Homo-oligomer: A and B are copies of this chain.
Amino acid sequence: MIFLNRAAIENMISLEEVMDSVEDAFLAYENNNFEMPDRIHVNNKENTLLYMPCFTNEIFGTKSLTIFPKNSQIGKPVIDGFMTLNDPNTGEPLAMIDGKTLTELRTGAVGGVGAKHLSERNSSTLGLIGAGVQGFQQILFISKVRPIKKVKIYGSNIEKLKDFSSRLKKKIDIEVVICGSAEEVLEGTDIVITATSSENPVLPNKAGLLKGKTFIGIGSYKPTMREFPKEIYSLLDRIYTDTYFAKEESGDLCYPLSEGLIKEEQIHTIGSFMSNKEKKIDETVFFKSVGMALLDIYVAKTIYEKAVGLNIGQKINI
């Protein structure tokens, strides 16, 4: 068995390769080439253990994460854990992959793939609400698929925004504007990402400000969490998601469905959009991602195969 930590993964794989794997996963989702049991939550006090198994014909595995919200107060990652990959014929473990890095990469890649298929080709200004780990990745990935020159960021903590900005500018050549409000973020942006843990809308409830942009919603993975205001739904013909479960998992879909603001038939997967030959992009676009184990297993498989080919990774004598 090999162990692949952050350094091994990041030195080996490009963001483009991660996005290719995510696209493969979206197409496999349409073709039903997998078995993905419901993700399993175990709660203990304020903490959660998450087990996300997934089986394909070629490999299977489980992403096992710990989610400790109070870790953010002591500067430790909230999400930790591993993806285990197993031989589909014998169950024997093949690899363990750092779950933090895998989750960051695949979530970033989902945004990147979303922007690639659902935003205007010449989009150059990006907005971001929520200056956390996921927001950072979103910018890196989207910058690979669109000619992004400027990013406008907003969050509740100015010190975090400043740190985010300086880290981002060290990583890629980009202009970063720290905004005083979400409204300011919307001014002149082509693509807007929300990546918060908010339970209430983080964007202004003003159709005029929301119109004509591509929105990518990364937070709101529970019915109690919401990032998007009512008015956005009046602008949408179609809503894109990564999985059909998103309708039950995300407050940004449960809420407008229960309020009658959208109809279920307006919701389509990005995989179905990608499979469709006619790819007309609507004026205002909303892509809501909740993630799924199928994305993890596809990205993990790519990482594992590359590591084997390059003889990278710590050998574990099991």
Name A residues whose Cβ lies closer than 8 Å to a Cβ of B.
3, 5, 35, 37, 40, 42, 44, 47, 49, 51, 53, 55, 60, 62, 64, 66-68, 71, 74, 76, 80-82, 84, 86, 90-93, 98, 314, 316-318
A86–B64 touching, CB < 8 Å: no
Q: Which residues of chain B are within 8 angstroms of A71 by Cβ–Cβ distance?
A: 90-91
B37–A66 touching, CB < 8 Å: no
Closest Cβ of chain B to A290, distance in Å, is 20
Contact flag A3-B93 (CB < 8 Å), given A37-B42, A55-B44, A64-B84: no
A68–B90 touching, CB < 8 Å: yes
Q: Which residues of chain B are within 8 angstroms of A35 by Cβ–Cβ distance?
A: 44
A316–B53 touching, CB < 8 Å: no
Q: Which residues of chain B are within 8 angstroms of A3 by Cβ–Cβ distance?
A: 316-318
Closest Cβ of chain B to A33, distance in Å, is 14
Contact flag A318-B92 (CB < 8 Å), given A37-B42, A60-B44: no
Closest B residue to A40 by beta carbon equals: B40
Q: Which residues of chain B are within 8 angstroms of A82 by Cβ–Cβ distance?
A: 84, 93
B40–A51 touching, CB < 8 Å: yes
Contact flag A318-B40 (CB < 8 Å), given A49-B53, A91-B80, A92-B76: no
A91–B68 touching, CB < 8 Å: yes
Closest Cβ of chain B to A34, distance in Å, is 11
Closest Cβ of chain B to A150, distance in Å, is 36
Closest Cβ of chain B to A318, distance in Å, is 6
Closest B residue to A66 by beta carbon equals: B91
B91–A47 touching, CB < 8 Å: yes
Q: Which residues of chain B are within 8 angstroms of A93 by Cβ–Cβ distance?
A: 80-82
Cα A305 to Cα B257 with chains together (Å): 52
Q: Which residues of chain B are within 8 angstroms of A80 by Cβ–Cβ distance?
A: 90-93
Q: Which residues of chain B are within 8 angstroms of A81 by Cβ–Cβ distance?
A: 91, 93
Closest B residue to A48 by beta carbon equals: B91
Q: Which residues of chain B are within 8 angstroms of A314 by Cβ–Cβ distance?
A: 316-317
Cα A40 to Cα B37 with chains together (Å): 12
With A37-B42, A76-B90 already in contact, 7 other A-B pairs whose C-beta atoms are closer than 8 Å: A44-B55, A47-B91, A51-B62, A64-B84, A67-B91, A80-B91, A82-B84
Q: Which residues of chain B are within 8 angstroms of A98 by Cβ–Cβ distance?
A: 318
Closest Cβ of chain B to A67, distance in Å, is 8
Closest Cβ of chain B to A70, distance in Å, is 9
Closest B residue to A65 by beta carbon equals: B91
Closest B residue to A68 by beta carbon equals: B91
Q: Which residues of chain B are within 8 angstroms of A67 by Cβ–Cβ distance?
A: 91
B66–A86 touching, CB < 8 Å: yes
List 19 A-B pairs, Cβ < 8 Å: A3-B316, A3-B317, A5-B317, A37-B42, A44-B60, A49-B53, A51-B51, A51-B62, A62-B64, A64-B64, A64-B84, A66-B92, A68-B90, A68-B91, A71-B90, A76-B92, A81-B91, A82-B93, A98-B318
Listed from nearest, the 9 A-B pairs whose CB atoms lie closest are A66-B91, A68-B91, A37-B42, A51-B51, A44-B55, A42-B53, A3-B316, A80-B91, A76-B90
